[in-house]
Amino acid sequence: MVETLSLRLVLDRPKMMTDLRIRSGSSDRHAFNRLADRAESAAIPRALIMDSTLAETPEDGLTIDGTPFSIEKIRSLTEIPCRVFPFLATCGRELNTIKEGGSIIESFWLHEIMIKALEGAVNAAIRFAQRASALDAVSLVSPGSFPGWDIHEQNKIFALFEGHAEHEGINLNSAMMLVPEHSLAGLLVPCREQHDLCALCGSVTCPRRKTSRMDL
C-alpha cells in the first residue's frame, strides 16, 4: 500500500538568511521575505512511501516485493530478509510556478528553498519508517549515490509505485533525472546503526557533504 505524506513548508528564515549572507536591513532581506512568502503559500512538499520486504533469491540475488535489484552492498547495513521502505520525495511541482520573472539571485534563493522543501519531505518519510519499524536507526540509500547501486535502477523504484508518482507530479526522464529537479528516490532501511545519506554516498566532490564517506 502506497502512503502519501503531504507537508506544509515552513522555512527557518533567520537561519536561511544567515546561511545566504543576507544582511539585516538590506533590500535583499525584504526581497527574500517576499519570495519566502510566495514559496510557503505555494509549496506542497510530499513523499510517497511503502512498506516492503527485501529478500534473497536462490541465486543470492536480491528482490524487493519480487522485483530484482542490484544492490549487493546493502548487506553491510542489515540482515536479509528485512523490511525496507521504498520512497519518492519531492519539493513539489508547485514551486515551479514561482520560478519565472525572478532575478539571478532570487533564482538561487529559490533553489535553496526547494532544497529545504525536499529535506522536509525526506524527513517525513524517515519518521514514517521509524514509526512503522519501531526503530530509530533508519539509513537512506539511493540509486546513483549508494556505492554499487546503478542510477538506472530508479526505474524500478518508480515501477513499485505503479503510477502514483505521476499522479503526484514526480517523473523520471530518459536521462534518469528526476522531475521536479529537487526530488529523490531510494530506500529507507531499518538497520543496526544509522548512517545518513552523506556517509553512504559515493560522491567525493559534493559541496554539501556533511560527514565523511563510509567504506562498505
Q: CA-to-CA distance for 53 and 63, rounded, in angstroms?
A: 8
Mean pLDDT across the chain, nearest whole number? 89
Distances (CA, A) of 172 to 55, 88, 99: 26, 11, 21
Q: Is 127 helix (H, G, I), strand (E, B) or coil?
A: helix
Burial (CB count within 10 angstroms: exposed 0-12, middle 13-18, buried 19+), residue 7: middle
Mean pLDDT across 188-200? 73
User: What confidence score (pLDDT) does residue 102 get?
Assistant: 75
Q: CA-to-CA distance for 130 and 119, rounded, in angstroms?
A: 16
User: What is this structure's pTM?
Assistant: 0.89
Q: In which element (H, E) is residue 5 found?
A: strand 2-6
The domains found in the chain, sorted by start residue, are 2-200 (3.40.109.40)
**pLDDT of 35 higher than 90:** yes
For 120-164, write each residue's pLDDT tens digit. 999 999 999 999 999 889 999 999 988 889 999 999 999 999 889
Interior CA angle at 116 toward 200 and 91, to 5°? 90
Phi, psi of 147 (to 5 degrees): -55, 130
Q: What residues contact residue 51 under an 8 Å CB cut-off, 6+ apart?
A: 1, 83, 85, 132
User: What confidence score (pLDDT) does residue 47 get?
Assistant: 97
pLDDT-derived band at 205 (thresholds 50, 70, 90) equals low
**pLDDT of 100 higher than 70:** no
Listed range (2-6, 143-147, 198-202) with the worst mean pLDDT: 198-202
User: What confidence score (pLDDT) does residue 97 get?
Assistant: 86
User: What confidence score (pLDDT) does residue 214 get?
Assistant: 56
User: What confidence score (pLDDT) does residue 121 get?
Assistant: 97
Q: How far is CA 197 from the centre of its chain?
A: 9
User: What confidence score (pLDDT) does residue 204 get?
Assistant: 59
For 67-95, write each residue's pLDDT tens digit. 999 999 898 888 899 999 999 999 999 99
Q: Which amino acid is at 192?
A: R
Q: Is 116 helix (H, G, I), strand (E, B) or coil?
A: helix
